[in-house]
């Protein structure tokens, strides 16, 4: 096994009495795309949202086990959840631009984190939009409402919004599920580019997408990790019968 950026160790999670994640253990390598795939309702999104502690917001959530990023537990008392979420950016399933201008959408993060003055923020906005392959399409209309963008552009805008605060890790929660094939292709291309600078974790129920876009792949079923391996290996030589069944389209 190579280096590990995010080590997930015997993670269990309950919503009330509902045991959603069961003894999840695997390590997510840095500067690679790791896909978490599995049938609907298997806990993929929940697992993803545990990594930046977005599940804290849901009442009745209980967690045991640990997630360690760069040697530090995200559940430790000394961990500042605000700082954690700045380091671990998230793109949601449905594009969720703020009803502000394109520029203001990106400038929001750097501003609340006081990352410099006007000129700095302007630079950050441009850099983030370029990194998300959106700059050329929007550079002449930065002050238009973000809702005037197409769905695919909105999703890249949300990605740029994450990048603007310079995270180390990017969590993508089925980012292409609301997009047409063309926009999906562009987003996947973006994801492949981003792994140079970021550790990317993507949740998908679409196995072709996992095959195309990821280097590592975790197969999650009923809250348990069935298999975790290099994507190439999982798709050609799955070790577990359930993985094979899923990949051959027998369920899911």
Stretch that binds another protein, among 52-60, 127-135, 203-211, 217-225 (CB under 8 A): 52-60
170 strand-pairing partners: 89, 200
Report the C-alpha gap between 246 and 252 in whole angstroms.
Answer: 6
Asked if 1 touches another protein (CB under 8 A), the answer is no
Asked if 109 touches another protein (CB under 8 A), the answer is yes
Asked if 2 touches another protein (CB under 8 A), the answer is no
Report the C-alpha gap between 102 and 97 in whole angstroms.
Answer: 9
Report the C-alpha gap between 117 and 30 in whole angstroms.
Answer: 31
Stretch that binds another protein, among 2-10, 27-35, 39-47, 86-94 (CB under 8 A): 86-94
Q: Could you say which DSSP state residue 223 is in?
A: T
Q: In the complex with another protein, which residue's Cβ is closer, 8 or 48?
A: 48
Please, what sign has the CA dihedral across residues 176, 181, 186, 189? positive
**Residues constituting the chain:** 252
Contact letters for another protein, residues 129-148 (x by CB under 8 A): ----------------x-x-
- Sole binder of another protein in the list 14, 15, 108, 235 (CB under 8 A): 108
Asked if 71 touches another protein (CB under 8 A), the answer is no
Report the C-alpha gap between 43 and 35 in whole angstroms.
Answer: 13
For residue 221, the SS3 value is strand
CB of 100 to another protein, least distance (A): 9
Asked if 119 touches another protein (CB under 8 A), the answer is no
Stretch that binds another protein, among 5-13, 65-73, 90-98, 201-209 (CB under 8 A): 90-98
Report the C-alpha gap between 233 and 119 in whole angstroms.
Answer: 47
Beta strand extents in 74-122 (DSSP E only): 88-91
Asked if 96 touches another protein (CB under 8 A), the answer is yes
Q: Could you say which DSSP state residue 101 is in?
A: B
Contact between residue 30 and residue 43 where contact means Cβ atoms under 8 Å apart: no
Q: Which residues contact 56 (CB under 8 A, 6 or more apart)?
A: 81
Asked if 113 touches another protein (CB under 8 A), the answer is yes
CB of 111 to another protein, least distance (A): 9
Contact letters for another protein, residues 161-200 (x by CB under 8 A): xx--x-----------------------------------
- Sole binder of another protein in the list 3, 40, 78, 82 (CB under 8 A): 82
- Sole binder of another protein in the list 10, 112, 139, 143 (CB under 8 A): 112
Beta strand extents in 77-143 (DSSP E only): 88-91
Contact between residue 210 and residue 37 where contact means Cβ atoms under 8 Å apart: yes
Residues that bind another protein (CB under 8 A): 52, 54, 57, 59, 82-86, 89-90, 92, 94, 96-99, 108-109, 112-113, 145, 147, 158, 161-162, 165
């Amino acid at each position: 096994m190579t280096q590990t950026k995010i080590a997930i160790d015997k993670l269990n999670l309950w919503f009330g009495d509902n045991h959603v994640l069961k003894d999840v253990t695997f390590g997510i390598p840095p500067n690679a795309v790791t896909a978490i795939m599995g049938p609907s309702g298997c806990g993929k999104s929940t697992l993803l949202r545990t990594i930046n502690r977005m599940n804290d917001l849901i009442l009745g959530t209980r967690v045991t086990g640990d997630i360690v990023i760069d040697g530090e537990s995200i559940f430790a008392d000394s961990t500042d959840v605000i700082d954690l979420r700045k380091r671990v950016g998230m793109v949601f399933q449905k594009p969720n631009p703020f009803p502000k201008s394109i520029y203001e959408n990106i400038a929001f993060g750097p501003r609340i984190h006081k990352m410099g003055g006007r000129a700095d923020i302007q630079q950050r906005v441009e850099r983030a939009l370029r990194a998300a392959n959106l700059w050329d399409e929007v550079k002449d209309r930065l002050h238009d409402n973000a809702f005037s963008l197409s769905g695919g552009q909105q999703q890249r805008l949300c990605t740029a919004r994450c990048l603007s605060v310079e995270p180390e890790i990017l969590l993508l929660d089925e980012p292409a599920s609301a997009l047409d094939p063309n926009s999906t292709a562009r987003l996947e291309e973006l994801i492949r580019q981003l792994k140079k600078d970021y550790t990317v974790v993507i949740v998908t129920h679409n196995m072709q997408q996992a095959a195309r876009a990821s280097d590592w792949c975790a197969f999650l079923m009923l809250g348990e990790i069935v298999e975790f391996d290099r994507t190439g290996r999982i798709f050609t030589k799955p070790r577990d019968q359930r993985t094979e069944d899923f990949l051959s389209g027998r369920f899911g």
